[in-house]
Chain A
Amino acid sequence: MNEHNELRELWCSEPSSKTTEAKEMLEFVQRKANHFDRIIVVRNWIECIAAGVLMVVVGSYAFRSDNALVKAGWLVMAASMAWIVFYLVCFGKGPSTVDPSQDLMRYANALANRYDHQIKLLKSVKYWYLLPPYLGLLLETLGALQERARGGLRWIDLIWPAIYTAVFAVVWWLNEVYSVGRLRKERAKLLFMTRGSDTSTD
């Protein structure tokens, strides 16, 4: 037997202890496919309901408030929540999948493009997802501080804006630093694996 055939025989000789039951796998994939769909639907519903409830609550605050700045702040918040609900209803189907039945180079290119798209989307989150509600909260805080300033401001009045600023900063960091960094690493690894080179994205 020549060395070439020996390699092939060696490769195919794995005495696998795992048997592949087609029926078992069929049940598994059906369950898993349904599970993914359900997860996305449930997640979207939870986010929609939360945003909807928040929209009603801050809308009622806006309605009841006499201070123009506070009213404007709550209205901006309510509009932001309405935008989130609209976005989830219209585009909240999760990331599109890349057709895996293409040849390797086409698949790798499509995957790299999807990474680029996700990175771009995550980098824009601050403008369309974070900034509007943050501006709304800032306006509301300015209005509230304006009212309280008549009786003298205390440092404790700044705790609430500090807390929500920190929360927004963490969300921003998770999206733009952590997630984008992770996606960039994966993209670079993909290109290294398939082309043997690292092409960074911006």
Chain B
Amino acid sequence: MITQAVAETVMVAGESDRHDIFARMIGQFGPALRRLAAAYVDRQGDREDLFQDIALALWQAIPSFRKESSERTWLYRVAHNIAISFSVRTHRRGRREGSLPEEFDHPSPTVSAEEGLLREEKRRALVDAIRRLPATDRQIILLHFEGLSYGEIEDVSGLSESAIATRLTRIRAKLKEEIRRREVDKP
């Protein structure tokens, strides 16, 4: 039997392994990757393009995945880096203000219409506020929201755990403030 330690140093062997790993990653992290895309680009079409770019980058990077880090942290590193280079290349970001409205999904039918709208409004304010954060802060808060530990966030971002903790406190306060301000400004 292959021990855990040995298994972690085994490189992706063949094409079928690559297929399995990719399918598992997309199946497991697809929704999180779509949320990540929404935090970097505002338009639905751009989000879909970014999601596909991330999927392609993962596919291309799988053969060099040496399992030195966990699959999850490796995946988030690739996804965030691709999202950053995508938004650098996307020259349409300036259209955010005054652009077509975001194509957010309709709230779940299980909650009341008013409640759903309020929640959706709040979620939209949160996504907008996250999009305005500097890349490092954005990465930290998204990883935190997706449930990564400080150690895992350190592995993805390269920042120390103490720096992450300090930043998280500041970012959360900033996000809450942004959402509150948007609620106050609402006509």
Query: What's the nearest-Cβ distance from chain A to residue B19, in Å?
Result: 6
Instruction: Decide: A194 and B84 in contact? CB cutoff 8 A.
Output: yes
List of B residues within 8 angstroms of A11 by Cβ: 35, 123, 126, 130, 142, 145
Is A96 on the interface with B (CB-CB < 8 A)?
A: no
Query: What's the nearest-Cβ distance from chain A to residue B129, in Å?
Result: 10
Query: What's the nearest-Cβ distance from chain B to residue A23, in Å?
Result: 7
Instruction: Decide: B77 and A25 in contact? CB cutoff 8 A.
Output: no
Chain B residue nearest in CB terms to A32: B56
Interface size of B in residues (CB-CB distance below 8 Å): 58
The distance in angstroms between the C-alpha atoms of A103 and B30, with both chains bound, is 21
List of B residues within 8 angstroms of A17 by Cβ: 105
List of A residues within 8 angstroms of B55 by Cβ: 25, 28-29
List of B residues within 8 angstroms of A101 by Cβ: 61, 64-65, 74, 77-78, 81
Instruction: Decide: B158 and A106 in contact? CB cutoff 8 A.
Output: yes
Instruction: Decide: A100 and B78 in contact? CB cutoff 8 A.
Output: yes
Instruction: Decide: A100 and B145 in contact? CB cutoff 8 A.
Output: no
CB contacts under 8 Å to B, within A151-200, are 186, 189-190, 193-194, 196
Instruction: Decide: B119 and A13 in contact? CB cutoff 8 A.
Output: yes
CB contacts under 8 Å to A, within B125-152, are 126, 130, 134-136, 139, 142, 144-146
Known contacts A103-B77, A103-B157; A20 and B30 CB within 8 A of each other: yes
Instruction: Decide: A102 and B77 in contact? CB cutoff 8 A.
Output: yes
Chain A, residues 27-71, CB within 8 Å of chain B (1/0): the string is: 011101100000000000000000000000000000000000000
The distance in angstroms between the C-alpha atoms of A13 and B158, with both chains bound, is 28
Interface size of A in residues (CB-CB distance below 8 Å): 43
The distance in angstroms between the C-alpha atoms of A18 and B80, with both chains bound, is 20
List of A residues within 8 angstroms of B84 by Cβ: 104, 107-108, 190, 193-194
The listed residue (A10, A23, A30) touching B123 by CB distance below 8 A is A10
Chain B, residues 31-44, CB within 8 Å of chain A (1/0): the string is: 10111001000000
Is B175 on the interface with A (CB-CB < 8 A)?
A: yes
Is B88 on the interface with A (CB-CB < 8 A)?
A: yes
Query: What's the nearest-Cβ distance from chain A to residue B98, in Å?
Result: 20
Instruction: Decide: B135 and A104 in contact? CB cutoff 8 A.
Output: yes
Instruction: Decide: A100 and B61 in contact? CB cutoff 8 A.
Output: yes
List of B residues within 8 angstroms of A32 by Cβ: 52, 56
Query: What's the nearest-Cβ distance from chain A to residue B62, in Å?
Result: 10
Q: Hey, which bits of chain A sit against chain B, CB under 8 A?
A: 3-4, 7-8, 10-20, 22-23, 25-26, 28-30, 32-33, 97-108, 111, 186, 189-190, 193-194, 196
What are 30 A-B contacts with C-beta separation under 8 Å?
A: A7-B172, A8-B144, A8-B145, A10-B122, A10-B126, A11-B142, A12-B35, A12-B146, A14-B105, A26-B23, A29-B55, A29-B58, A98-B85, A99-B64, A100-B61, A100-B82, A100-B85, A101-B65, A102-B81, A103-B156, A104-B77, A104-B84, A104-B156, A104-B157, A104-B158, A107-B81, A111-B88, A189-B88, A190-B88, A193-B84
The 6 nearest A-B residue pairs measured at CB: A20-B30, A103-B158, A22-B23, A29-B59, A100-B81, A193-B135
